[in-house]
Chains A and B, each alone.
Chain A
Amino acid sequence: MNSSYILLVIVIYVALGTWMAYVSRRGMGAGVTEYFLANRTVGGFLAALTYSATTYSAFMMVGLAGFTYKGGVGALGFELTYLSGLVLAVFFGPRFWLVGKRYGYVSPAELLGDRYESQWVAAVTTLVCLIFLIPYAAVQLMGIGYLLGGLSGGTIPFWVGLILATLLAIVWAWIAGLRSVAWTDSLQALIMLVTSILVLLFVIYRYFGGFGGFFVKLETGYPRWLSVPGPGFFNLKAYIGLTLPWFFFCISNPQVSQRLFIPKSMSAMRRMLGGFVIFGFIYTLVSVMWGFSTKVLSPDLARADLATPTLLSQPLIPDILALIVMVGILGAAVSTIDSILLTLSSMFARDLYKGLRPRASEEVELRLGKWVIPVISLVAMLFGWLRVGLISALSVAASAGLLMTVPAIFGAFFWKRGTASGAIWSMILGGAVTGFLYFSRIRPLGHWPAVWGGLVCLGAFIVVSLVTKPPLEKAEEFLGYLEDKLKEKNAL
């Protein structure tokens, strides 16, 4: 495809997004809660779109399509397991929202630090998130590099996509914090969904004459792709290793769980979660069908990551459609990265800096948070430059690391006996085991790092909590308040 067309479409996309980001500044107040949480006043529709765009990244259209291409229908089960994990948001959403309003929490790490009465818990949570989210952000940047390179036939080098996505994420997060992120996310979520459906329908009807013809070709040409373990990639141990962190994604990933603080009411949260699961189901099916379609049309690709660029480069796909989809994928990546940047910067300022200097003013905290945004982006960009491994495997490695915060989060809401030491050691030991197993590529008994890391993490949390003193007074007050309020709101 002609690279001048690609650049022209990107310029229009950047101009539109930047205009929206500036418009979102209207009526913006001052302070940390305003900047990082839009003052907890986001409506249901906007919240649903920003939640969707933040959760679904370039991984879906590039990585999941690649997973399907390589491993078949197991990719569908893998991603739908994540979606079913939204049931956790039904349990945790009202809890995060209620205590967020009562105690003024800005980040999930702050919530844990206060509940366990230890600034160290907040600091360690922040460090774990920084360590594991940077590869995840880098994956998004790499996705854009591959996409632009693939679509332009190599005319646009990998690093151009990388730098472009980094700059956009910085600017759109910087302009008005969560307000600009939420509005640009919404625009991008709509583009992502509409364009991906359009391409799918176009491919299915133009190349296969409809869904019936498509499934017949898939069943006759690639039957192994329709069962598990299928071609071999999705054996049961791999499936468990991949889905375990994915199931807990909505509470383990702080850029997503921080969204639980922002709805203006319980109805807004209901619309946010309800809207998201519908969006997610459609988007998952479409991404998987992209992977299957590419398998049938171009079965011998050298790398599964190239499935999407190859699909968009098919001769019968009109250039204009491929270009719009490219913007959809670019949007998916940027909307995830800017949310990660905003969340990590809020955690850095509130949970690391303010923990060290409790008397620091809100103004200083906010200024520091804003300056951390470009620093984290540059680190992620450098990581992306290294192009380590398969794009989707990297993404899952990040989620496996963040899984180590889950026992502490469960303990905060459901176990009075949980302690700060238990939370800290569970994250440190679980994170260390997961990181070591990923780097060394050792898989004891064939199980993936998330399984072993998760077991060590859970064990450490329970054992260390039982031998240390819990903050019982705080636990009684925190959980007592929640129990009363949850009854009032009729939430489980």
Chain B
Amino acid sequence: MSLVLIAVLALLGLCLIAGAILGFAAVRFKVEGDPIAEQINALLPQTQCGQCGYPGCKPYAEAIAGGDKINKCPPGGEATIQALADLLDVEAEPLDAVEGEKPQMVAFIREAECIGCTKCIQACPVDAIVGAARQMHTVIASECTGCDLCVEPCPVDCIDMIEVGSTVQSWKWDKPLAPGQLIASDREQAA
């Protein structure tokens, strides 16, 4: 009988000491905020376009930190998904968007039709459109991220999204195809 009592008391004692240590540690090593969201945000393309369903890149980063899927960003494309997968050590899934990965676009205002209403200026998340009320509006091409948010508000529909084509300077080599398949079953898979 007394042995059981001693056993129980001993274990109780151990548990109490353990609890005290953990309690102290919980206070001492408290972590504020969510630094992971910052690191995730650094990998996103910052177009603030909202195509992921969140009102900007920072909210999506916080959602991913909270456990959301990483394949919702069309402007970031495959490269961003891969980078996020590497950072968070999860599987890289294919892009989950209606149109898939589009080439880089830039907005262009047809100045002959612009009426100077400033609606597009208010819509641009990076202030890439220069202009004022009743003055000509134009897009600063080097600042434009191609997010597409200015096209809708324009009442005279004078904004085009143009693809940024490759010039001799910006053209890059394609990757060579992977070396030949060795095993017959792999060749069948590929074929």
- Report whether chain A binds chain B: no
